[in-house]
Amino acid sequence: MREKGRCVLSGEEAKALAHLLPRLVGEGGARYREGWWELTAQALPLLEAYASESPPPSKREAYERLGNDKRSARPSGVEVAVRGVGEGRRALGLAPDFPEGAYAVFPLEVLLSRAEGLPLVLVENLEAFLRYRGEGLEVLGERERREHPADYILLYRGDGARTRPLPWGEALRGYAGEVLLAFDLDPAGLAMAEGLVAELPRWGLVVPEGPARLALYREAMAKPEMRERYRSQVERVDVGRFAREPFASLWEEMAEMAVAVPQERYLA
């Protein structure tokens, strides 16, 4: 880079520097071109400072730091995958060079400091995180129904089968903005959302708009695996938890149809 004024990162190098890329882009030290990250000479001071510091923890080490105590202080050192939409891209420092729809990895505390009170949308699985869009979705609160925001930051909840899940209610408890929960339309997804809202001062549930939601239920009724998925989950979930709104109304329609609708299906 000193000789030529620029260099192209390999995929592994870009992954290793993922948490630095937003700052590098913001300061003119990095740009994204046709599938490759390119660093310019402006990146040198930041890279030299980074090289002199201790290396960041791996994801495995970060999750292990959480321990078993769900009531501990907000986790530090944990990295989260994010996508910015509208003003969310600007707030994260990913516009204009970062490709629309691409995602970045940030330490949790860096993400929260950059989010500027924008709505955070927490999604349940990776496919939904990659395909998510707000069109055709609405937000349900305890006493309201409204359109999905146009500007937001999307968070991937993580794969609980591979790592211990991050306690998101605790991690986002003090966030100044609203946290929207977009999970599967099934008993397990509803229970997961209900378990988080007790720790969130401002929250909402993201679901397909009414007519589209009913159409998805009816479509799922023709699939034996979706009926079985609902049946097996009902046996494991305490449905008495769904007494407050909007959980009560969602549970009523879900129980009437007796089917599950995966999140990725309503984002198709």
pLDDT at 69: 32
How many angstroms from the chain centroid is the CA of residue 248? 25
pLDDT for 80 equals: 86
User: pTM here?
Assistant: 0.73
Identity of the residue numbered 54: S
Local structure of residue 64 (DSSP, 8 states): H
Q: What is the pLDDT of residue 264?
A: 86
Per run of 10 residues, the mean pLDDT along the chain (length 268 residues) is: 80 74 79 73 85 57 36 55 91 78 83 93 87 94 94 85 68 92 95 93 95 95 96 94 95 96 86
Q: Which residues of 26-53 are buried (b: 16+ CB within 10 A; e: fewer)?
A: eeebbbbeeeebbbbeebeebeeebeee
- Strand pairing partners for 80? 106
**Nearest CA among 237, 35, 149 for reference residue 229:** 237
pLDDT reported for residue 190? 96
Q: Tell me the one-letter amino acid at 195.
A: G
Query: Is the sign of the CA dihedral 214, 218, 221, 225 positive or negative?
Result: negative
Q: Give the pLDDT confidence score for residue 1 in this predicted structure.
A: 78
**Residue 34, pLDDT score:** 54
Task: Report d(CA 201, CA 176) in Å as an integer.
Answer: 8
